[in-house]
């Protein structure tokens, strides 16, 4: 899955093995990461960029269509205080990466998506 965020990046690695670090469009926190999966020929983004400082989360290309605020529409990120309803893996509404998600799935704790 890829996101539709229009954030700036702090880094410019230009490498499929070294994902760039994003800057949060809401609070400016410059250490935002996304989950990337190794597909053999490189890493592909498999989760949204998110901000650990304010809690904003990038909107995914395949998220169900929700009514967006002006800022959400502009940034391509959900607002920090919004309940996350995107299609990335969550446990109790909190994002988890794909490795953690598999463990959670195995013990039945992964949130179900419709
Ligand atoms: Zn932020």
Instruction: Give pLDDT tens digits for 10-49.
Output: 999 999 999 999 999 999 999 999 999 999 999 999 999 9
Q: Extract the tokens encoding 41.
A: 């020929």
CA of residue 27 to ligand 1 center, whole Å: 4
Asked if 83 contacts 77 with a C-beta cutoff of 8 angstroms, the reply is no
How far away, in angstroms, is 108 Cα from ligand 1 center? 30
Q: How far apart are CA 49 and CA 76, in angstroms?
A: 10
Q: Residue 1 — pLDDT band, cuts 50, 70, 90?
A: low
The pTM for the full model equals 0.92
24 Cα: distance to centroid of ligand 1 (angstroms)? 5
């Amino acid at each position: 899955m890829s996101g539709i965020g229009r954030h700036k990046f702090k880094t410019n690695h230009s490498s499929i093995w070294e994902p760039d670090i994003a800057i949060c469009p809401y609070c400016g926190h410059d250490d935002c990461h996304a989950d990337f999966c190794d597909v053999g020929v490189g890493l592909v983004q498999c989760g949204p960029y998110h901000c650990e400082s304010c809690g904003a989360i990038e909107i995914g290309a395949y998220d169900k269509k929700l009514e967006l605020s002006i800022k959400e529409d502009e940034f391509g990120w959900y607002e920090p205080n919004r309940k996350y309803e995107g299609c990335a893996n969550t446990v109790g509404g909190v994002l988890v990466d794909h490795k953690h998600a598999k463990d959670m799935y195995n013990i039945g704790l992964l949130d179900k998506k419709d």
